[in-house]
Structure 1
Amino acid sequence: MLDDVKVEYMTFGTPIFDENGVIINAIVYCHGSLGKYSSMKKIAPLVGNGDVFDENKYFFISITALGSPSSCSPSTTGLNNKFPRYTILDVVNFQKQFLKEKFNIEHVLGIIGNSMGGFVGLTSAIKYPDFADFLITGVSSYKVAGHDFILSKFVDEIITSDPDYAKGELTYSLIRTLRLANLAEFNFGLSKESLRAMSNVELAAEFENFGNEMLETDIYDLKYCNESCMNFNVENDLDKVKSKVLIISCKQDPHFPPELDGIPMSEMIDDSQLIVMDSKLGHLCFNELESIRNELKEFMENFDDC
């Protein structure tokens, strides 16, 4: 149990209050693995006057999740491998407690979750069915299985195979191991089409740059976050979702292809809609949300009177 922990966040938009002074138009943005509050910039092209996420109509709160750097995490607490293991439900509860303590919010208009953020949003909708009126989950799933489980297992194996991991302090060996663990993820971002369009020389350079850039992450943050995602599975609880759900998949997503994740999830959640994007960005397609502006706008019209 950790007390008085650090929470990094940002807000954007216009809060609207009820007669009791409680914000009624809050939308919570949940980022992907080891992301941060600034990941909310993915919806920036859609916040103009009259647009899908009109800043005059909605009040956005984006929280750097439990386990991610700059909020309470293995690295920021200095606990490293002594940090308590956490689940996606713990991430949800961390978020809910913060919203209550900081904003006195116990109900939100909606949740938008990207990748791991989709795990968070879906878990919230299952565990607390009356918490959010809607959920938008993007390039995500209801469980980590198959090739995604093996990827997470592989990353975990790379990290724990380094004998220095147990020391709880950063060593040269762990820096090298961190780079290798992150490089295992390289092939699961952009679409196969995008990768094939590059020459091998270009790919090698991108691969090298990716490994170097990811050295900014912390190996203990990565280990704990990867483990929490690896154990995610809410397949048997999808019937508990009461929020209206919009599922966004991408047909070129190497992580969560629609036929394995988005489509089955839409069939298991009663009040859900499915959009399948066509984007060579693959798993990174949330950076092109303006390409489905009309579909998003149609969905958000359900909440104009909320």
Structure 2
Amino acid sequence: MESFEFENGKVLNDVTVEYMTFGTPKYDEQGKLKNVIVYNHGSLGNYASMKKIFPVAFKGGPFDEEKFFFISISALGSPGSCSPSTTDLKNKFPKYSVRDIVNFQKQFLKEKFNISHILGIIGNSMGGFVALTQAIEYPDFSDFVICGLSTYKVAGHDYILSKFVNEIIESDPDYAKGELTYSLIRTLRMACLAEFNFGLSKKALREMSNVELSSEFENFGNESIEVDIYDLKYCNECCMNYDVESDLNRIKTKVLIIACNQDPHFPPEFDAIPMSELIENSELIVRDSDLGHLFFSDLESICYELKEFMDGFS
């Protein structure tokens, strides 16, 4: 895009947007796309996270690729799209909010596809923040929202986890230099390792031997150094400040909330269940799974419920 203006007034020019499409585009009488579903990934993911819905995109399935046209965008702040790393601005990149992510996406959809209305939006984890915020800020933009393994505000243990990650990063004096050093790579690894316990269920971790756990922990840390520490820091702060509790009554679209009892990030009793009570036109699916926060990778297990929900928008 030629430019993008953040809600704090900062403007960036020549903005990169990474995306992919999947499915079958269909048009109305005015030649506008009418069957678009936008997919939103989790923190520091990218467009490829949309692969989570592929197993239920078969003919006659909930997300039948012959019925729907999916657009998946690497969010503002995520590598591949406009971010601290891809712009090389590092710690001089403008601070951004979830509303900025929503507006970045909405502007791109308008400029690239001339889209002013979409059929629906799917959001997983941080993508759920984006989906709910879009439904609040632009209540007529979509007909439905699917919010998976997510919440309406970052609070309690999850807020403290984000604070802890911030403390680790800011404790390294090299962070302020805006250039990668050996010390920052080590700090990045430590900050990412703080997240290790918040993926699989406690039961799944308990059933691993200490040797297996140590190996998984080591691999997780080694893979994490592929992340840019500035991308991580900015995304972490964006999520840490997310809270739409008082605005949920502005949502007019139909909302499907998907949760997992074993999710260490967003336990249903604190997140999905109260959220479903605060959103008037919502449905709730809660399942048991050792995948925990990664349950969105097993949408096949709720294929029937998804199909029942999506039949209302075919």
TM-score bin, normalised by smaller chain: over 0.9
What's the counterpart of residue 139 of structure 1? Answer: 149
Distance (Å, rounded) in 2 between the aligned partners of 1:289 and 1:2: 37
Distance (Å, rounded) in 2 between the aligned partners of 1:222 and 1:277: 30
* Aligned pair partner of 1:264 in 267, 274, 281: 274
Give, in angstroms, the shift of residue 197 of structure 1: 0.5
What's the counterpart of residue 178 of structure 2? Answer: 168
Q: What secondary structure is seen at the aligned counterpart in 2 of 1:76?
A: coil
> Structure 1 residue 60 and structure 2 residue 81: aligned?
no
* Aligned pair partner of 1:127 in 133, 137, 140: 137
> Structure 1 residue 2 and structure 2 residue 12: aligned?
yes
Code of the aligned partner of 1:199: S
What's the counterpart of residue 223 of structure 1? Answer: 233
What's the counterpart of residue 48 of structure 1? Answer: 58
Give, in angstroms, the shift of residue 47 of structure 1: 0.7
> Structure 1 residue 232 and structure 2 residue 242: aligned?
yes
- In the alignment, structure 1 segments of 5+ residues that lack a partner are none
Q: Deviations over 1:88-142 (max 9, x none)?
A: 0000000000000000001100000000000000000000000110000000000
Q: What secondary structure is seen at the aligned counterpart in 2 of 1:216?
A: coil
Give, in angstroms, the shift of residue 144 of structure 1: 0.1
- In the alignment, structure 2 segments of 5+ residues that lack a partner are 1-10
What's the counterpart of residue 212 of structure 2? Answer: 202
Distance (Å, rounded) in 2 between the aligned partners of 1:177 and 1:256: 26
> Structure 1 residue 255 and structure 2 residue 255: aligned?
no
Q: What secondary structure is seen at the aligned counterpart in 2 of 1:94?
A: helix
Give, in angstroms, the shift of residue 4 of structure 1: 1.8
Q: What secondary structure is seen at the aligned counterpart in 1 of 2:263?
A: coil
* Aligned pair partner of 1:84 in 94, 99, 111: 94
Give, in angstroms, the shift of residue 3 of structure 1: 1.7
> Structure 1 residue 153 and structure 2 residue 159: aligned?
no
Q: Deviations over 1:59-93 (max 9, x none)?
A: 00000000000100000000000000000000000
Distance (Å, rounded) in 2 between the aligned partners of 1:77 and 1:3: 10
Distance (Å, rounded) in 1 between the aligned partners of 2:218 and 2:313: 45
Distance (Å, rounded) in 2 between the aligned partners of 1:129 and 1:51: 27
Code of the aligned partner of 1:40: M
What's the counterpart of residue 4 of structure 2? Answer: none
Distance (Å, rounded) in 2 between the aligned partners of 1:285 and 1:194: 13
What's the counterpart of residue 114 of structure 1? Answer: 124
Give, in angstroms, the shift of residue 9 of structure 1: 0.1
Give, in angstroms, the shift of residue 277 of structure 1: 1.7
Code of the aligned partner of 2:164: F
Moved over 2 A (4+): none
Q: Deviations over 1:28-48 (max 9, x none)?
A: 000000000000000010111
Q: What secondary structure is seen at the aligned counterpart in 2 of 1:130?
A: coil
Distance (Å, rounded) in 1 between the aligned partners of 2:130 and 2:45: 13
What's the counterpart of residue 302 of structure 1? Answer: 312
Q: How does 1:30-49 map to 2 (within 5 A)?
A: 30-49=40-59
What's the counterpart of residue 12 of structure 1? Answer: 22
Q: Percent identity?
A: 74
* Aligned pair partner of 1:71 in 81, 99, 119: 81
Code of the aligned partner of 1:12: F
TM-score (normalised: structure 2): 0.96
Give, in angstroms, the shift of residue 278 of structure 1: 1.4
Aligned length: 304
Code of the aligned partner of 1:11: T
Q: Deviations over 1:277-300 (max 9, x none)?
A: 211000000110000000000000
Code of the aligned partner of 1:29: Y
What's the counterpart of residue 289 of structure 1? Answer: 299
- Give me the CA root mean square deviation: 0.4
Code of the aligned partner of 2:115: I
What's the counterpart of residue 8 of structure 2? Answer: none
Distance (Å, rounded) in 1 between the aligned partners of 2:217 and 2:12: 38
Q: Deviations over 1:232-283 (max 9, x none)?
A: 0000000000110000000000000000000000000000000002110000
Distance (Å, rounded) in 2 between the aligned partners of 1:303 and 1:57: 10
